[in-house]
Amino acid sequence: MRLQTLLIISVIIYSCGRNQGKSETEKSLTQLEYLQKGAEIVNLTQSELLKNVSAAIQTGGPGYAIDFCSENAMLLKDSLSRLNNCVIRRIASRYRNPADKPQTKTEKDQLNLYQEANKEGHSLAPEIVVFDDRVEYYQPIFIDRGACLICHGSPGKQIADETLEKIKERYPGDLATGYAMNDFRGAWKITFMKNEE
């Protein structure tokens, strides 16, 4: 009888261990899926924004591109958010558009983690933060094109005076100048609501 009881307990413990391992594996797969989905959405959004900004610069120069961005960038992100059933944001400590200012503790913490890791010379990678009702995907943004410096570089060097005037006109509280190539700029944040899947 004692041997049977020990066998039953062993089977139960083994089964529980297998189920726990399975849920950890499923959790990892889910996080991997969110990492892949987040990266795809960021690549699409960034590609669309860069394409539109480049076209605006070719059409009317940097000043025209600033007008275009202030009027259309949010609309483009909102449209892609609806298309991908998520919420797309850019966040930065040194933001241009006040809508990009970090709003939650998680956003502030993630930006701080990226900034500290970048200062210490570590490479930055996308991160997933899981909540009960949502999953947040974060991906670092760097100044990786010379064209970015036309609006985000140093005034009087990469940023022309007329462009700087347009920035001040559109964004009086602008903090997003003074960058150099390969500087950490901020992060993309993609929020997936769990109940909408």
Q: What is the mean pLDDT of the chain?
A: 85
pTM over 0.75: yes
Cα gap 63→57, rounded to integer Å: 8
User: Tokens 């960021």 — which residue?
Assistant: 42
Predicted pLDDT of residue 28? 60
Give yes or no for residue 195 having a pLDDT over 80: no
Give yes or no for residue 3 having a pLDDT over 80: no
Q: Give the tens place of pLDDT for each residue, 63-89.
A: 888 888 888 888 888 888 898 899 999
Domain ranges of the chain: 30-196
